[in-house]
Amino acid sequence: MSDKKNLIGRYPISFLFILLSLHMFLTSCADKTELPSVTSAPASDPSAHTPAVAAETANGESSDLSCAYFYFLWGAHAESNKKYSEAQEAYEKALICDPEADYVLKKLPILLIKMEKLLAAAQWLREAIKKNPNDIDNQLLLARLDVNSGDFNEAIQIYEKILELAPDNSTVRLRLGYLYSQQGRYKEGKETIKVLLIKDPSSYFALLYLARLAIQSADFDTAAVLYEKILPQHWSPELVYEMIELYGMREQYKRVEQLYASILNNDPENEQAALGRVHSLLLLDREKEALEELARIRSFSNKPTNIDLISSRIFISTRNFDKANVLLEKILAKEDSPAARYMLAVIRYEANKLEAALAHLRRITHDDEEFENSITLQTKILTELQRTPEAIALVKKLIDNPDRRQPLYYSLLASIHTNQKQIDAGHEVLKKGIELYPDNVQLFFEYGLLLEKEGKQNEAIATMEKVLELQPAHVEALNYLGYTWAENNVHLDKALEFINKAIALKPDNGFILDSLGWVYFRMGELEKAKTALERAIVLEPEDPYILEHMGDIYQAGGQKDKARDSWYKARELSKDQEMKEKIEKKIDALK
């Protein structure tokens, strides 16, 4: 075997390539730049073409391309071995050899990002973009850095410039639409993304982004239409779950159940979807089907005890206490389940075995998931046993412990005081709770209701407005304010806006539809008022307040017989003597 063959046999080709590169480097740029100490040989693709030995830059300056390429290989090898400082030094030396080396200019900012030198990377990219304003790759990278740092305005400006250069770049268009939405610029976001539909009316990502934009701008009807358009051609569990969230928020549980069923058609043992379907069936009052589904789930579930607990809750909700009791006792025979104890306490409470209920509740500890429920039921039982001081002491003990206090306990204690006609004490408790939990929506909402109950309506309105500051989509607060303004015949345009927002969230809520009808009534739009109230009555046929309003609208429209019929029914259903007398006066006035 020749010496040449021995040489090739002893060293890999990549090493020979490095030797050749080193030779070229030593003969071309040894005098220009000091060679760093060799710690390891660069590992790079030996098939890559080595650039020409020398060239001129755009400014006419001489550049050494082989020197630049050698350092580039060196840097790439160091980077692949996560020796980022060494790689940065090599890339920078490559640029000394050839300031126009595009392959290095692309690498360096990415390396800086890997080194978490984000400001340096951004500055590097900005300088590179100044030199070459048409380099889309650098602009995309800089925009991503701006987004990650929260500088949406800068990112938006970059994406807008990119679209000027490449108006058909769908990825950039989608990102720009998203950023507009993050700034509340929903109209601009929608218009930006809609351009994609001109070229492809069935574009999955465009339709999906538009649906999400519609949700962000509270246009839930449009969102639903868009999702339904996407679903047949692009069905996926992820898309279905996204739709479930929308329809669940709007209380459209029939569609929710259908969507869960579509997942189960493809994956019958998907326990998450199966339990979701059970939940939706319960909300539709289809308990029998829910129990049948639970029995099916139990056959493949890894946690049959959890399935039995859910079945027990259904039995309790349908007042089938004996079946629930059997299941729960079996669970407790095997393990000390706080959830089983809580439900057994509920069963004992319903059977008026109050001490037995308390015995179960007291065995539920602070670390158990059912603890807050157990405290709520304990206070209820103690109050019914006329042991109110004991109930107060129980809750105060929790409130006085900084490690255990919760907003719920302030609500409970305030409720105990107000039920005992201790209104001032209830006020103080809620105020203290709000002071400790200034972002707790429920405490503010309950405080507003208490103020309304006391007749302090202006303060109640201000408190409900605070609720909406904290949670703009709080349906009950929107409904309260809209109805209250309509009742007082003030701010009717704003009242209509708030009620429409509430309806968008809960389109099948009869009480919100009643508020809508009452707003229209105050605005003098009797036909719209009548349509809204008729829908409300279909949903809540035995609510006396809705029936009274329906009678008022019939009477205003000259339909006296229909008005009388609605008022008669409202009077029969009302349990409030003052309301009965008010309705009686209306009926008498017709005579």
Amino acid at 161: K
Nearest residue to 126 via CA among 111, 100, 146, 103: 146
**Residue 16 CA neighbour count, 13 Å, CB half:** 11
Query: CA 73, CA 75: separation in Å to the nearest integer?
Result: 5
Q: Cβ(244)–Cβ(212) under 8 Å?
A: no
Query: CA 314, CA 303: separation in Å to the nearest integer?
Result: 18
| pLDDT tens readout for residues 22-43 | 333 333 343 333 333 333 333 3
| pLDDT tens readout for residues 69-91 | 888 888 888 888 999 899 889 88
DSSP secondary structure string, 473-528? T-HHHHHHHHHHHHHTT-SHHHHHHHHHHHHHH-TT-HHHHHHHHHHHHHTT-HHH
Element (H, E) at 529: helix 526-539
Q: What's the confidence (pLDDT) of residue 63?
A: 59
This prediction's pTM: 0.66
Q: For the chain, which ranges sit under pLDDT 50?
A: 1-61
Query: CA 544, CA 574: separation in Å to the nearest integer?
Result: 6
